[in-house]
Chain A
């Protein structure tokens, strides 16, 4: 059984490139300015692990953390 993943966006680093929302719309939400935050508490539902890593590795500001619980 794989570890459960959690995503987190550092609001001080996010500049609203919105790459995470394009690549993993289930895991991220945008505010009225287009800046991102994780959906809910950031828990990655089973099957979306790849998308979590993809979002992290395409963030130009290195604002996304993926942690294993």
Chain B
């Protein structure tokens, strides 16, 4: 794809406390020391970039904001260079505030309960093994491109009832919305339009041939008055499920394997004690939380003693909250058998990730199957690990050497 209109690059950050920028390459590569510096400075810091944006740096400040829907709106959930008009039914319920949030959320919850995920688990296990079959004979592999990327794409495609083979299309839309869209509005709009056209065609096909999948589920859903959802609501929720279900878990599985590749002691322990994998998954979610959400300040207030003014955005960094040493002893260490872990990787309050049970199941299965079949692996010193920028952080290139002869 040719691209003539390059968005303006941001100047490099020299003063993180007063001028932070979550798209700066330093943040993308290694955000943890930056968060520690900001947390030591204040529970809430501010930047003039992105037309004005706050960053809560402590677990407590993040919790306060997540639970305060009066002063903080979800109508904008990505911190970007521009603030165009808010679209109606952008991606309900993640872009909804009370009182419309609750019915939109309740609609999506039943297909994502732990019991529903148990039924999907055999399919995910099969997907993992098909992927491993494709590269297990090789000496080196990019685990992000060949493994972690495909598990959530194919799982959510299976649930939505769209072809798993369209996954390159989905991954490209998500890249345009979550990464390029921060600085280039046209990319975001183009992806949103293409997604709507794609799903409209699938909806149309189901009008004559109903199916047993999430698209038909949403088409047949009724509100309290017994009316079907508006078309724009169905499309918005479908866009949300596709966007939210892919990059996020791709990142979480990738960061987990990245950690295990460079930490043989943890790897050996999980191979010896597979029953510990669910506990380890929670710790890996805490230490390498992929998702940073956002809010828009709609009414002036105070957070952890810091004044917060309307018109600014808030970068709601669950990943930074999860590294707060006042909440988590040894916050900067991965303790794979951590017993007390109230991490906020899936958010806090009414916007708790609707797919958290799906993500947890995918992570557990992906790690179990990988460790069963590839107990020995390490980072390839000849390759480079790269990380995605902005809203969702995870490895996009993960070069591994496989087997004992490394």
Residues of A within 8 A of B (CB): 15-18, 21-22, 30, 32-34, 54, 57-62
Q: Which of B69-77, B106-114, B257-265 participates in binding chain A?
A: B106-114
Q: Which of B132-140, B204-212, B339-347 participates in binding chain A?
A: B339-347
Q: Is the CB of B357 within 8 A of A58?
A: no
Q: A20 CB to closest chain B CB, in angstroms? A: 11
Q: Is the CB of A18 within 8 A of B357?
A: yes
Q: Hey, which chain B residues are within 8 Å of A34, CB to CB?
A: 109-110, 112-114, 357
Q: Is the CB of B340 within 8 A of A32?
A: no
Q: Can you list 18 contacts pairing A with B, beta carbon distance less than 8 Å?
A: A15-B349, A15-B352, A16-B109, A17-B352, A17-B356, A18-B113, A18-B356, A22-B278, A30-B113, A30-B114, A34-B109, A34-B357, A57-B342, A59-B342, A60-B343, A60-B346, A61-B348, A61-B349
Secondary structure at the A interface, as helix, strand, loop or mixed, is loop
Number of A-B contacts (CB under 8 A): 49
Q: Hey, which chain A residues are within 8 Å of B278, CB to CB?
A: 22
Q: Which 5 A-B pairs have the closest CB atoms?
A: A33-B109, A15-B352, A34-B113, A57-B340, A60-B342
Q: Hey, which chain B residues are within 8 Å of A33, CB to CB?
A: 106, 109-110, 113
Q: Hey, which chain A residues are within 8 Å of B336, CB to CB?
A: none
Q: A39 CB to closest chain B CB, in angstroms? A: 15
Q: Which residue of B lies closest to A56 (CB)?
A: B340
Q: B174 CB to closest chain A CB, in angstroms? A: 25
Give Cα distance in the complex from A34 to B109, angstroms.
7
Q: Hey, which chain B residues are within 8 Å of A57, CB to CB?
A: 339-340, 342
B350 within 8 A of A: yes
Q: Hey, which chain A residues are within 8 Å of B344, CB to CB?
A: 60
Give Cα distance in the complex from A60 to B340, angstroms.
10
Q: Which residue of B lies closest to A21 (CB)?
A: B114
Q: Is the CB of A17 within 8 A of B346?
A: yes
Give Cα distance in the complex from A16 to B356, angstroms.
9
Q: Is the CB of B109 within 8 A of A15?
A: no
The 8 Å CB contact of A18, one of B114, B348, B349, is: B114
Q: Hey, which chain A residues are within 8 Å of B106, CB to CB?
A: 33
The 8 Å CB contact of A54, one of B112, B339, B356, is: B339
The 8 Å CB contact of A22, one of B112, B114, B115, B342, is: B114
Q: A16 CB to closest chain B CB, in angstroms? A: 6
- Between A18, A57, A58, A60, the greatest number of chain B beta carbons within 10 A of the residue's beta carbon is seen for A60
Q: A9 CB to closest chain B CB, in angstroms? A: 15
Q: Is the CB of A60 within 8 A of B339?
A: no
